[in-house]
Copies of this chain bind each other. A is one copy, B any other.
Amino acid sequence: MSPPQPAPPLWLDESEMRFWRAFIITATLLEARLNRDLLDRHGLAHGDYVILVVLSEQPDRSMRMSALAGVTATSKSRLSHQITRMERSGLVRREVVEDDARGVLAVLTPRGLARLEEAAPTHVAGVRTYMVDLLNPEEREQATVFLERALKVLRGAEEGAGGG
């Protein structure tokens, strides 16, 4: 047993609160803004865009459903519905995995790739304007270190509470 530690305060002080609010509101507004820009100019939701990007980066332009869900931080159920919609729009197609008939591959279609390339400049411009341009490289590096630390903690916390 370790000696008794002072418990963390039960409330956030003003500085902590300011930080916390800035983070959560910024994240909310940012996602909404990128989503709106993509939707208005290219008829593509931000969520769909992310999936297209991830698939496009794979050597075979495809990924298993569960892996895709993990990378994009969405539930398997939600991803399944989403891929169904994207399939209907011809952006991706499903394919059964060789050697494991349980597995399903989401595959980027030529049409999906074309739509991605069309929308990418809008997205990149948004990411620059609302985020990247507001930090110099050193600050960005620091921020990334912090965010990846948080990511690690959050990924750890995911275990134990099922990801539906």
The residues of A with any CB-CB pair to B shorter than 8 Å are 8, 10-12, 15-16, 18-20, 22-33, 36, 40, 50, 72-74, 120-121, 124-125, 127-135, 137, 139-144, 146-151, 153-155, 157-158, 161
Copies in the complex: 2
**Are A158 and B29 in contact, with the CB atoms below 8 A?**
yes
Which residues of B are found within 8 Å of A29, using beta-carbon distances? 73, 151, 154-155, 158
Compute how far the CA of A23 lies from the CA of B150 in the bound complex, rounded to whole angstroms.
Answer: 10
Which residues of B are found within 8 Å of A19, using beta-carbon distances? 131-132, 135, 140-141, 143-144, 147
**Are B161 and A36 in contact, with the CB atoms below 8 A?**
yes
Minimum Cβ distance to chain B for residue A8 (Å): 6
Compute how far the CA of A130 lies from the CA of B33 in the bound complex, rounded to whole angstroms.
Answer: 25
Which residues of B are found within 8 Å of A142, using beta-carbon distances? 139, 142
Which residues of B are found within 8 Å of A31, using beta-carbon distances? 24, 27
**Are A15 and B137 in contact, with the CB atoms below 8 A?**
yes
**Closest partner residue, chain B, to A161 (CB atom):** B36
**Are B137 and A149 in contact, with the CB atoms below 8 A?**
no
Minimum Cβ distance to chain B for residue A36 (Å): 6
Q: Beyond A149-B134, A154-B29, A161-B36, is A124–B22 a contact (Cβ under 8 Å)?
A: no
Compute how far the CA of A25 lies from the CA of B46 in the bound complex, rounded to whole angstroms.
Answer: 13
Compute how far the CA of A32 lies from the CA of B139 in the bound complex, rounded to whole angstroms.
Answer: 27
Q: Beyond A127-B20, A139-B146, A143-B146, is A154–B26 a contact (Cβ under 8 Å)?
A: yes
